[in-house]
Structure 1
Amino acid sequence: MTAAATGGRAPEGTVTDPTTVDVAAVLRRCRDLVDPALRAAVGRLDATSAAQSAYHLGWADRDGKPAEGGGKALRPALALLTARACGAPETVAVPGGVAVELVHNFSLLHDDLIDGDTERRHRPTVWAVWGAASAVLSGDAMLALAQEVLLEAPSAGAAPAALLLARTVRELVGGQVADVAFAERDDVGVQECLTMAHGKTGTLLGASTEVGAVLAGAPAAARAALRTVGEELGLAFQLVDDLLGIWGDPAVTGKPVLADLRERKKSLPVTWAVVNGGDAGRDLAAWLARPDSGPAGDDELTLRRGAALVEAGGGRTWARAEARRRLDAAEAALATVADHLPTTDPATTRARAELVALGRHLADREA
């Protein structure tokens, strides 16, 4: 029986074909499992940090009234699915899902301030509403809370999971430092841009897939394979995000039109085009270096000329192909998990199919 014959979802335990997986339903299921624990954790914070965190997470408006919103909880979903892909119940990984979601949102609070972004998910950012200090402190509170939640996990893997998260945050901050430094340079190379993207995005997705395996008590080889899955998905995710930052629909992405070019970001397609784009790349480099560059000097027509140069230099085509290559690498790494954890358990094989489907969804998304 196909997924279509059962209302978009195959019967539990029968899915081995990723094309029959209802990704939206998978994300909802994982979010429903993690959300109560995430809300309980945020409720431990002081009243001000809790209120600002709830606003940032989409649970409340700026006056504290309940709101319908929130992210897709992608990282918690990866944690839960990898636990089940290792043969454990998804509930084992709930503390890991909470922790990676808190770290992700800590980084968003700080990134919004660093980048000067006044809007996220079609709403004013925390710093734009309450000031810079509030964004810093609420983000710090989330980061500390993530470690607390992991260390309290009722699993022998709690301490190793907390160590994994600490290392991940160090790498994430390093990626952000590189990103900030790139703004002052005109000689950024493609490989160092990929390294920066790994730090900013790949390392946390790698932790999201590995933490589920750690809390599930999986062997080291399976853990390493699943971390590779997340890291490669993270780079695919960032490549698509960079494409959306130039060519995405603002009504869908929630970002201003041509947002990354407006900010002169050294994103992956831009960097590739500058380095490898020949005449178009040289014109793009000159366009990026114009003395009147920046938000005040750019109308939409000017920004569209920059986007055309990125495309003419091959940046758009390369980024799409590289995202697909990274997705293929993630799927290849996931296939090796069966060598370390062979199973005939339908729930486990289903979880592995769901991981493949979720990765493909990330590579094809529009927001």
Structure 2
Amino acid sequence: MSRNGDFPDGNHYDPSGILIEFPRRVTASIDPRMREIVADLPEPVRSMARYHLRWADDQGAPLSGGERILRRYGSLMMLCVSRERSAWDRAVNVAAAGNLMMASQFIHDDIIDNDQERYGKPTVWARFGVPAAIMLGDALTASAYAALADEPPQVARELIRLMSATIQHISAAQTQEMANKGRTDITLQESMAVVEAKAGRPAQFACAAGVAGSGGTPSQVAAAAELGLHLGTAVQLHDDLNELWPTKDPASETDLRDLRERKTIPAVAYALQISGRHQEELSRYLQKTVSPGTTELLRVRALLDKIGAHEWLGEQLTGCVDAALTHIPEVTPVPLDQQEIRQYITDWLTPQ
């Protein structure tokens, strides 16, 4: 299957639209399986799951376009899967399970971050309450494990082990990230470790699980895991870069949420290790407890820029992308597949 189109007699679509077309094709492939799995949930968690996945509103009325909530992770699940139809079809159940696992993590993440909206609609906890949201997250995780149990025994055991490790790493990273807020003694290595666990590990599972579910060899699965680890880390750094220094309007505040919440993200941890008056001012800001205004947030971002965090973050992103790309030949020997994987990654993550 072309990552940019359907299964049109082996033909490939214009790769210029791969960032749009590939996620759409992935969604069309795995959404039906996800709906089957969710349909087996008992009420009221089934209706809550449909709401969270944007398949229905809070009254149960069907919605369109709900796939956006998991489009990016679903694409990672299928990114390294062979374009052959049989391999693609074999990976669909695993990808659906992975998406449901991440759906549960999004629910818990919204609670932790006190997010009341996701993509313009109230989050599950904001609509149904925190206890109900926690229970829905647990139910979706259980559904993901049950779906993986449908795989051949050896594959199922490996994927369940990988998913368990992924959830453990995400949980540890979320806990550590909360503990790091406002601290000025967090090293760059510690900050990057949180990113790797929170973003790199889920992408590692996604890429490896897709290949394993599609019938890939152990060496291909291992290579996909390495690719995913670097890719997931790159995605988080890319998101940090775009939040701190948006390319459309570099002078804007954007959300600057991580700065507002005084999180010791890698750009901040890097700046803290550079001695000088800018570092001292940044340290004082992190130790404050009063909610910052726009002027203060923009001043803190300017401090990061003066210290060199903008340039450093771009260099780290490029390094992670390059590291991910080196594993593509080990994932698949097919030149066209290699080209499509490489293009999807570079079109998405190359700094502007």
Instruction: Tell whether the structures are fold-level matches, with TM greater than 0.5.
Output: yes
Q: In 2, distance between residues paired with 1:110 and 1:192?
A: 23
Offset of residue 281 of structure 1: 2.4
1:70 maps to 67
What residue in structure 1 maps to residue 20 of structure 2?
24
Alpha-carbon offset, residue 74 of structure 1 = 2.4
Amino acid paired to 2:67:
G
Return closer, same or farther for 1:184/1:257 CA change in 2, 3 Å cut-off: closer
1:220 maps to what in 2?
Answer: 218
Amino acid at match of 2:49: S
| Matched residue, 1:320 | 314
Which letter maps to 2:26?
C
Which structure carries more relative contact order (alpha carbon 8 Å, separation 6+)?
1
Q: What is the deviation of 1:230?
A: 0.6
Does residue 148 (structure 1) correspond to residue 146 (structure 2)? The answer is yes
Supply the distance in 2 between the matched residues of 1:99 and 1:360 (Cα, whole angstroms): 27
Q: Is 1:56 equivalent to 2:52 in the alignment?
A: yes
Provide the identity percentage.
28
Residue 182 of structure 1 and its aligned partner are, at CA, apart by 0.9
Residue 142 of structure 1 deviates from its aligned partner by: 0.8
Q: Residues 339-361 of structure 1, C-alpha deviation per residue, up to 9 Å, x if partnerless?
A: xxx4xxxxx54333222222224
- 1:40 matched to 2:36? The reply is yes
SS of the residue 1:109 aligns to: helix
- Structure 2: gaps of 5 or more residues: none
Cα distance, 1:310 vs. partner? 1.7
Q: Partner residue of 1:311?
A: 305
Q: Is the 8 A contact 1:83 1:92 kept in 2?
A: no
Normalised TM-score (structure 2): 0.88
CA contact (8 A) 1:21 1:357 kept: no
Change (3 A) 1:20 1:285: same
Structure 1 position 271, deviation (Å): 1.6
Q: Following the alignment from structure 1 to structure 2, what is the Cα–Cα distance between the partners of residues 233 and 105? A: 20
SS in 1 for 2:82: helix
CA pair 273-187 structure 1, distance change in 2 beyond 3 A:
same
Q: Deviations over 1:164-192 (max 9, x none)?
A: 11121111211112112112532111111
Tell me the alpha carbon deviations over residues 206-247 of structure 1, each in whole angstroms, 9 at most, x when there is no partner.
011101222233232221111011110100001112223334
1:286 correspondence with 2:284:
yes
- Normalised to the residue count of structure 1, the TM-score between the two structures is 0.85
Q: How far, CA to CA, are the matches of 1:248 and 1:67 in structure 2?
A: 31
Contact 1:156 1:215 in 2 (8 A): no
Note closer, same or farther for the CA distance 1:158–1:10 as it changes in structure 2 (3 Å cut): closer
The answer for the alignment partner of 1:345 in structure 2 is: none
Unmatched segments (≥5 aa) in structure 1:
343-347
Residue in 1 that maps onto 2:331: 337
1:359 paired residue among 331, 345, 348: 345
- Is 2:178 the counterpart of 1:192? no
